[in-house]
Structure 1
Amino acid sequence: MPLAPSALDRAQACLTGLAIGDALGMPAQTLPREAIRAHYGRITGFVAPFPGHPVSHGLGAAQVTDDTEQTILLARRLIADPAGFNDRAWAQDLLDWEADVKAKGLSDLLGPSSRRAIEALLAGEAPEQTGRRGTTNGAAMRIAPIGIMTPPDPDQLVARVARTCRVTHNTGEAIAAASAVAMIVSCGIAGQPLNQALTQALIACRAGQPCGEQVGETAMEARIRHALDLAAQGNEDALLAGTGTSVASHESVPAAIGILALTGEDVWQGLLIAANAGDDTDTIGAMVGAMAGALYGALPPTAVAQVVAANELDLDGLAAELLALRGQVTEGAAR
């Protein structure tokens, strides 16, 4: 009988699964489902974007996007400052990352919530205020490092999520959504099964909703419960139609959690559903991959090899460093 995956196995699979889901969804991002079918048929593996893709042009098959790159940025910021979280340093991290992307001639830049918030911060606005309109999924897409480094205690986890969201996504919608994703990752690292992780995710979502500015969706828990009800019907199309797949946290995060519930241990199938979902496919895939990797600790070896070969990433090393911080009390976890 094979040994159960270790916490390190799960942490490494979390970050690698995020990268795989991101890369699978990269050629389809921003496209409606009909356009995905027209250009690619059904995506069943890593493919390059079609010439002139509005966002992904310049990337090759199995290359990652901002989802993976910003997750790495956040991981490095957390590792560099485990006793707190420096808002201005984080804002500068994001600006430096975008400058590097522009220098490469790529178009996958900061999302609208992040750009607006960082510009306000650098103009002198207080960090408590800069993210007060950020309801998109930029926080949830990169939140996996918090789940790796934080045990599945709702108070501690939600406080850390809210602290890292403050500059760009300081809203109840974004914090609740990111808390749900981070909790599933945390439960996975702890070796908890899917059903238990989903229950804990709803608790974390509920705890995150009152945080930040109360703009956007005020009932994220209900959105996720609806996605789980749709997933229980076993119909991919009904699930995606019922949740939506846009950059809004209240659509893409329930969609990702619904896909996770629909496909269970069949991680590859979940990632393919995300890649073909339409609209924000790379982010939905990244969230599915992070959560599934943490829960199951194993990924298709061929897919891992392809993503490793196509990108210069040190995800295993980052995962180990984040895991070494797990359980430490930081200033960022104080409420």
Structure 2
Amino acid sequence: MKLTRARGCLLGLAAGDALGRPAENLTPEEIARRWGRLTEIEPGMGGTDDTEYTIFASSLLCKYGAALTSADVAREYREQIIPRIDGPMRGAGFSELGAVQALRRGLEPPLSGLWHQHGWSDGLAMRAAPYGIFAGGDPGEAARLVAVDGVVGNSGEGVHGGQAVAAAVAVAMTGAAPGEVVEAGIAAVPEDSWTSRNLRAAVTAVAGGSVDELYAAVVVRHYPWTDLAPEAVALAFAGYLLGSGEVEESVVSAANLGRDADTTAAIAGALAGAGRGEHAVPERWAREIGPVTGRCLPVVAGRHVLDVAAELVAATGEAS
């Protein structure tokens, strides 16, 4: 059961990443004008840095397990990522670009996640799912582990966003109901944090059935970028709740909310896939998910999320 949930989690993430990719930075109104309702992965679209960084995060857990340290993560960046970057990184978010620049300058975590001043980015949240798989059933451990990774490139709310996602995935891996999954994510972050306030506001807005209320509560409309972790994680959790934890509806709901649509749909897909398992991911979507190209991270080129999920489960030492 753990293997099918792990495979569902990462396959749901990759599918959400690919579905949401063309809607990134768009409003719900523009999405509706272009597609009516975005429900299908464009052939050959593939995923973004969300999927590639998720695979990289999984490799850290497979190599170091629960003993992972921030120094380990920084070393892997320097040995596996930085030497393979030919020119500027393609498709990477603010926090990933900033981490690479900081590490190139010789900074170590947590300074590497503070120096570039974009620590609020959702770069950790987008790759947090493997920590929830690895620590399935233990949201506290999932939140601890993802923060070990997170401080290399993020700080503050960026780390909180990753912790909320990892903890929620850890509970989703038990087959818990969506409401319980979301509450675990909220419980993993400080109550007075921006992330917590946005997540609680998203739950209230979804209960009221109002996308306008959701946007008013969590979206920073005047900000020109959409990778704010408190915003993206709140929209992702909202999509997951709107879809009642079913993979297709959760992913589609998140993607059609727009903003950082590839990340929000990827997180919603990870939560729903962990809860429902691999066979709940629509077959037509699964057929579109192939090995990643390594466009952003050459070190993961050729890896498939289903193989990575099996490796993660094996690394836990538990029966699949």
Q: TM-score, normalised by structure 2?
A: 0.83
Give the drift of 1:257. 0.7
Query: In the alignment, which of 183, 208, 233 is matched to residue 233 of structure 1?
Result: 208
Aligned to 2:316: 326
| Distance (Å, rounded) in 1 between the aligned partners of 2:142 and 2:183 | 15
Given that 1:70 and 1:94 are in contact with CA atoms closer than 8 Å, whether structure 2 keeps it comes out as no
Provide the secondary structure at the position in 1 that maps to 2:42: coil
Given that 1:140 and 1:178 are in contact with CA atoms closer than 8 Å, whether structure 2 keeps it comes out as yes
1:88 maps to 2:46: no
Identity of aligned residues (%): 32
Aligned to 2:297: none
| Distance (Å, rounded) in 1 between the aligned partners of 2:233 and 2:83 | 27
Query: In the alignment, which of 167, 188, 210 is matched to residue 152 of structure 2?
Result: 167
| Distance (Å, rounded) in 1 between the aligned partners of 2:108 and 2:88 | 27
Alpha-carbon displacement from aligned partner over 1:45-103 (angstroms, at most 9, x marks no partner) = 1226xxxxxxxxxxx33x1111001101111122122232413333234435654996x
| Distance (Å, rounded) in 1 between the aligned partners of 2:139 and 2:285 | 33
Instruction: Kindly tell me the number of residue pairs found equivalent between the two proteins.
Output: 296
Aligned to 2:121: 136
Query: In the alignment, which of 100, 103, 106 is matched to residue 121 of structure 1?
Result: 103
Gaps of 5+ in 1: 1-5, 49-59, 210-216, 329-335
Query: In the alignment, which of 20, 37, 42 is matched to residue 25 of structure 1?
Result: 20
| Distance (Å, rounded) in 2 between the aligned partners of 1:218 and 1:203 | 11
Aligned to 1:268: 248
Aligned amino acid, residue 93 of structure 2: G
| Distance (Å, rounded) in 1 between the aligned partners of 2:251 and 2:271 | 11
Paired residues for 1:1-335 under 5 Å: 6-47=1-42, 60-61=44-45, 63-82=46-65, 83-85=67-69, 86-92=72-78, 93-95=80-82, 99=86, 107-108=90-91, 110-132=92-114, 133=117, 134-169=119-154, 171-206=155-190, 218-244=193-219, 246-297=226-277, 298-308=280-290, 313-326=303-316
Give the drift of 1:321. 1.7
Given that 1:25 and 1:275 are in contact with CA atoms closer than 8 Å, whether structure 2 keeps it comes out as yes
Moved more, 194-203 or 133-142: 194-203
| Distance (Å, rounded) in 1 between the aligned partners of 2:2 and 2:257 | 30
Moved more, 304-313 or 156-165: 304-313
| Distance (Å, rounded) in 1 between the aligned partners of 2:281 and 2:194 | 33
Give the drift of 1:116. 1.8
Given that 2:164 and 2:189 are in contact with CA atoms closer than 8 Å, whether structure 1 keeps it comes out as yes
Aligned amino acid, residue 237 of structure 2: I
Change (3 A) 1:327 1:283: same
| Distance (Å, rounded) in 2 between the aligned partners of 1:327 and 1:244 | 41
Provide the secondary structure at the position in 1 that maps to 2:175: coil
Give the drift of 1:276. 2.1
Aligned amino acid, residue 251 of structure 1: E
Give the drift of 1:139. 0.2
| Distance (Å, rounded) in 2 between the aligned partners of 1:98 and 1:293 | 32
Provide the secondary structure at the position in 2 that maps to 1:265: coil
Aligned amino acid, residue 260 of structure 1: Y
Moved more, 82-91 or 64-73: 82-91
Q: TM-score, normalised by structure 1?
A: 0.80
| Distance (Å, rounded) in 1 between the aligned partners of 2:275 and 2:173 | 7
Alpha-carbon displacement from aligned partner over 1:230-277 (angstroms, at most 9, x marks no partner) = 111123444344322821011010111111112113321221122222
Given that 1:151 and 1:326 are in contact with CA atoms closer than 8 Å, whether structure 2 keeps it comes out as no
| Distance (Å, rounded) in 2 between the aligned partners of 1:168 and 1:142 | 12
| Distance (Å, rounded) in 2 between the aligned partners of 1:292 and 1:46 | 17
Aligned to 2:223: none
Moved more, 23-32 or 285-294: 23-32
Gaps of 5+ in 2: 221-225, 294-301
| Distance (Å, rounded) in 2 between the aligned partners of 1:158 and 1:310 | 26
